[in-house]
Structures are given as C-alpha cells and as structure tokens.
Structure 1
Amino acid sequence: MRVPFWKMHGLGNDFVVLDARETALPELLPATVRALADRREGIGCDQLIVLEPSSEATCAMRIFNCDGGEVEACGNATRAVALLLGEPARIATRGGLLATTPGDASASVDMGVPRFDWDAIPLAYAMDTLAMPVGWDELEQPVAVNVGNPHVVFFVEDNDAVRLDTLGPLIEHDELFPERVNVNVATVEDRKTIRLRVWERGAGLTRACGTGACATAVAAMRRGLADRQVAVHLPGGTLTIGWGHDDHITMSGPATEAFRGEFGWDDYA
C-alpha cells in the first residue's frame, strides 16, 4: 500500500501529515509512528498528523508524538492543516473543536477556552494552579494551564540559562502529572513580549510549541505580567497570542509545506 504524505512545519516544529478522509489507513501502531518519525531511517518529524472524516467538523485531526503516543492538541500542526485545507474550517481534535482561518503562508486558530482547575490539568491532587507550591531545582511555583493539553509554565529571569534538557523530562514524568505534562520556561521582556523555550511531552526540546505559547501567554496574563495580546518568541520564530474577553485564545503565525512524497506502509508497519 502506497501512502501519500505532506511534510510541513510551523516555526520548525515539523509534521508528517497523512490524509485518511477518503481512504482509511491500516491500524496505526506506536511502532509505525516511531518508524515514520525517525530522522535517520524514516521521513522524520516531531509529530505525525492523521486527517480523518468528522460528522461535526470539516475534518478530524489525530496527533501522535514521535514517541508513538497520541496527544490531544498541537497548535503548530493546526496552523499547518489550516493551510493544507485552504479555507476557513473547523477541526475536531481530542482537545476540542478548533476554528481555523488560513492566510498567506500563515493561519489563525481559535484555540478555545483555557482551563485552570487542578483536576482539568490534570494534577494528582488539589492545589493552587496560579502559583503551584512545588519546585524542581531552580524552577519553582509554576502556573498550570490546560489548553487542550496540559502545561506548566515557569517564569524565570533568563530562560536560556535553564537546564531544560535535564529538568524537562524530570518534570514531565513527575507523579504529580498523571497524564505527563509539557514544560515551559519563559522570560517576560515587557508587557507585550515573552521569550519561551518548551520541553514537549513525548517529543522533547522543540523549536516551537503552539499550545505552549498559548499556555504561557495566558499564564503571564493571569499573573498580571502581560497585556491581553503578546508576541511569544520561540527558538523557531514568533507567534502572536491573544486572550479575548470571551475567554477564547487566538493564536496566529506562519506554517510551511516543505515537500510531498509517498511511502510503502509495509516498510514501516
């Protein structure tokens, strides 16, 4: 079975996109995801994206991290799919229904309403999510936010100085987070500008994380550190995040198609 694919990225956070809206794919096993995501022997990606038919939306989008695990949301991938669809659309994900509007090499996404209750993150037990009374070495008192997937956000003086490659996996797998967690370290430059680095659950250090930018912006706004619209600068580029008075988060930024191809399913099964 030959399967066509699109290789796309949002600020360097890259995806292999498979379209199963008309022709169903065989069962997608974690081993197949890992093989396709392998950068030496596969196509290579941070996430594998599968588009499927949906009765409630333009299409459904399933998201698999490069470790083979399926996750709820991916903001950068949603912008990429918005460009692929080429028109305003509603995309069903495990994290909720997302409205997208494509532009010229960019897209805007209504990421929905963030959740802050401890059991919506989820955490293992109740605590204040605006200033969690926990810490890991120099990272202390994070904000917890669910924006379709779970995030903790640490505000630090210099996020480039944080040992995120060692602290990221430690926090991700802490028993406090029963579904694991995405780890964000942010430096607020001014009320309209944030620098951000992200350890992504199941993917590791990433050049960009759309949901991480949303979670971080909202966390900064809740702490009174930022205005209701900010530029979030990630290693791969910049996203604009707004938090409207209707409580919906809007994320805007670029996405790019790198190339197209096809592969033999049995070569990766």
Structure 2
Amino acid sequence: MNFTKMHGLGNDFVVVAEFSSVPDRIDSLAQSVCDRHFGIGADGLVLILPHERADFAMRIFNADGTEAEQCGNAVRCVAKYVFDKQLTDKEEILLETRVGIQRLKLVIERGEVAQVTVDMGEPKLAGREIPTQVEAERVIDHPISVADGEFRFTAVSMGNPHAVIFVESLESVRLHQAGPQIETNLLFPRRTNVEFVQVHGPDEVTMRVWERGCGETLACGSGACAVVVAGVLNGRTSRNAVVHLQGGDLQIEWRESDNRVYMTGPSRIVFEGVY
C-alpha cells in the first residue's frame, strides 16, 4: 500500500489514494497504520476515493479504528494531495465527506498548494442533533460534572460533535484527565471532541483539544470552527477570529450572511513510502 504522510498544523494523517472503495477490516488497518511504535504513526488514516457527484471523496478513520464524520485538517491535506500530485488542476474542488459535499478553495504558490479555505457548512446547535442528551435548541454554558471537576460547555456540531469549554487559563487544565472523562460522558451518546479555550480578545483565542478516538492532538480544524461558533454564542468572540493551536494558527469565520463557517489554513507533505 503506497502512502503519503501529511499533517495540518501537526494533526497528522496517513493518506492513501489507491483504493476504489473502503477495504475490508478498515478498522484494523487504521489501528495498525496509525500505531506510533509498530506502524507509520498518525492521528488518522485518510482514504481518497473516486466519487460520481464530486471531484473526490474522503473517508477518515481515527487511530482507534472508528470512523470520523468530519475533519477540517484532513480535508486540507486532501486538497493539497490531489493538486500537488496532479490528480486535478482545479483551484476550487468539491470533496464528498460523510457530512456532504464540501467546497475547497486552493491558494497556489510556486505551483503548490500553500493554503486552503474550506466551506465547513452550517453549525448544528440543537442538543439532540449534535448529539447530546440535552433537550434544548442551543446548549450554551451547560454544566457537566466529571471526576476531574465541574465544567460548563457549549455544544456545537460541525458534522462531528464538540464540547467547548472556556477557561481563564489553559495552564490550569488537566487535559489528559478531564478530556477522556468528558469525551465518554453519558451526555454525549456518540462521544464528543473536547476543546478548552482561553480568550485573548474578540478576534483571538488559544485552544487545546482532546479528540474523540485520538486523544490530544496538535490541531483540530472542525474544533477550531466550533470554538468560534461557541465564542459568538457566549459573547466572547467576534465572527472572524484567529485560533491558536499547538501546531499553528487557523483563521475561522462564521459568516452571518449565509450561516456557514469558513476555515483557512495550511497543510504539508512530510514523507512517502510503502506499507
């Protein structure tokens, strides 16, 4: 199996484009490939597949073998892969994911993709749609109690579920304790991604993320989108903000005109090989 190792701000993936459909036992393959000691090592396995209604399709499987509905960093990696590998010459492509077709705009520098703006779609805010067990049109500043303490979260779905928690200082967060406890809490029937956020101003925040099925990662594109949506809902940020992640920065805009969230950021190829 030929592969390309890529990352979006340190959120890393094994990208494979040689299958025409999802192979059998993909969960076991993802676990083996993503193992950082006995495999290639990654947060997820990304398959680029043909599609009838879009330019390409993407399926992503977490390091634990579960399939993710959405991943903003992986989407940007796919965009760079298909253009840099000359699978397309389009600077605007349509990509089918499990949450529907996404529109990607490529910024080309010296013949390669430098940045990608992704239309991440409209956020879902109703409690049951995210999904959570909370019966509310919007789940804002909702209490949650876990072994590591008491928190208040705002729930947002960007095609995948997020619990956004605002804190005074990220230094006080015990991510590896609180993260998995919140991820698997009964309030979230499909588990959840967890973002802890420190606000610096209306147009700038820093976040750390505990990703469902992966653990802590250096970046989460859909999580950054959820953070800005939650920031607006809580009156903490504007609709256009820079999100600082451990692996770098993303520019996020939640446009009032169409209610859609747009994410702009880079992706990189690390190395290639045969597994």
**TM-score between the two structures when normalised by the length of structure 1:** 0.93
Name the CA distance, whole Å, in 2 between partners of 1:131 and 1:122: 16
Change beyond 3 A, Cα 1:20–1:120: farther
Name the CA distance, whole Å, in 1 between partners of 2:246 and 2:77: 18
Matched with 1:259 is: 271
AA matched with 1:58: D
**RMSD over aligned Cα atoms:** 1.4
Query: What stretches of structure 1 move > 3 A for 4+ residues in a row?
Result: 23-26, 135-139
Matched with 1:219 is: 230
Aligned-partner SS, 2:128: helix
* Contact 2:143/2:150 (8 A) holds in 1: no
* Contact 1:20/1:53 (8 A) holds in 2: no
Matched with 1:241 is: 252
Matched with 1:130 is: 140
Q: State which of 122, 143, 153 in structure 1 corresponds to 2:154.
A: 143
Q: State which of 20, 24, 27 in structure 2 corresponds to 1:30.
A: 27
Identity %, equivalent residues:
42
In the alignment of these two chains, the number of paired residues is: 260
Q: State which of 99, 105, 119 in structure 1 corresponds to 2:103.
A: 99
Matched with 2:38 is: 41
Q: CA deviation at 1:138?
A: 4.4
Change beyond 3 A, Cα 1:46–1:250: same
Matched with 1:266 is: none
Matched with 1:175 is: 186
Change beyond 3 A, Cα 1:191–1:125: closer
Q: 5+ unaligned residues in a row in structure 2: which ranges?
A: 84-90
**TM-score between the two structures when normalised by the length of structure 2:** 0.91
Q: 5+ unaligned residues in a row in structure 1: which ranges?
A: 264-269
Q: State which of 150, 154, 162 in structure 1 corresponds to 2:173.
A: 162
Name the CA distance, whole Å, in 1 between partners of 2:80 and 2:45: 16
AA matched with 2:17: D
Q: Deviation per CA, 1:45-98: give whole Å up to 9, x if none.
A: 101001111122111110100000001000001011111122321111112221
Aligned-partner SS, 1:126: coil
Aligned-partner SS, 2:23: coil
Q: Report 1:63-142 matches (<5 A).
A: 63-86=60-83, 87-103=91-107, 104=109, 105-127=114-136, 128-136=138-146, 137-142=148-153
Matched with 2:87 is: none
Name the CA distance, whole Å, in 2 between partners of 1:25 and 1:55: 15
